[in-house]
Chains A and B, each alone.
Chain A
Amino acid sequence: NAGVTQTPKFQVLKTGQSMTLQCAQDMNHNSMYWYRQDPGMGLRLIYYSASEGTTDKGEVPNGYNVSRLNKREFSLRLESAAPSQTSVYFCASSLARQGAQRGTDTQYFGPGTRLTVL
């Protein structure tokens, strides 16, 4: 099993360009997440998908859109990149059994995408 995979590994964009970060998991997990990691700020949740067909905003959703294409795939799109979006982006997934669950399920992370916006 590959676990959580992300593409690309690195990307450089110019201000105003758009791009999509891809994420896939092969663990049959229900929930998927997108985080950004910035020095001194830790990981901040951008968007998440509790289950196939649903998406919700996290702490820092502005400037991003997401698509939960199917149970395996969860993409993050930057429509018009800005220098403030320079960051390392991590995708994660968790089993997240149905019901009123809190963060009890382990999140499994991808290797990250390092994005620079000039």
Chain B
Amino acid sequence: AQRVTQPEKLLSVFKGAPVELKCNYSYSGSPELFWYVQYSRQRLQLLLRHISRESIKGFTADLNKGETSFHLKKPFAQEEDSAMYYCALGEYGNKLVFGAGTILRVKS
């Protein structure tokens, strides 16, 4: 079974500190991985996907097949990064399997 694990329910950091939101997956094959974000009072939306290898709002995520990880990183956290972050794994049939989510709180 395909699974996505986000081990931290809550991650609290100070503004300007580095951020790393962890995501591990289990999948037999070539995975497609995504990060979705839900800001307060906003809809869940795509943040980035691994195939794009892009940086969005200063966030990057590298797929590490050896460690089956797709951690989300940002070198300097900002208060507006506070949100719920979900890691998701693409599944055949254009479906997604989501992790449990991590709340990121950036303190001033």
Contact = CB atoms under 8 A, between A and B. Distances in A.
B86 A42 contact: yes
A45 B43 contact: no
B72 interface: no
B90 to A, nearest CB: 3
A112 B73 CA distance: 28
A93 B44 CA distance: 12
B94 A103 contact: yes
Q: Taking chain B's interface residues, is the majority helix, strand, or loop, or is none over half, making it mixed?
A: strand
A33 B9 CA distance: 25
Contacts of B95: 33, 45, 48, 58, 103
B16 to A, nearest CB: 29
Interface residues of A, number: 32
Nearest to A41: B100
Nearest to A43: B98
A103 B46 contact: no
Chain B interface size, as a band, is: 20 to 34
Contacts of B49: 104, 106
B44 A42 contact: no
Interface of B: 4, 6, 9, 32, 34, 36, 43-46, 49, 51, 86, 88-101
Interface of A: 4, 31, 33, 35, 40-45, 48, 50, 56, 58-59, 90, 92, 94, 96, 100-112
13 contacts: A40-B100, A42-B4, A43-B86, A45-B96, A45-B97, A50-B93, A59-B97, A94-B94, A100-B92, A102-B32, A102-B91, A103-B96, A104-B94
Given A42-B101, A100-B92, 14 more contacts: A42-B4, A43-B98, A43-B101, A45-B95, A48-B95, A59-B97, A94-B94, A101-B94, A103-B91, A104-B32, A104-B51, A106-B49, A107-B96, A109-B43
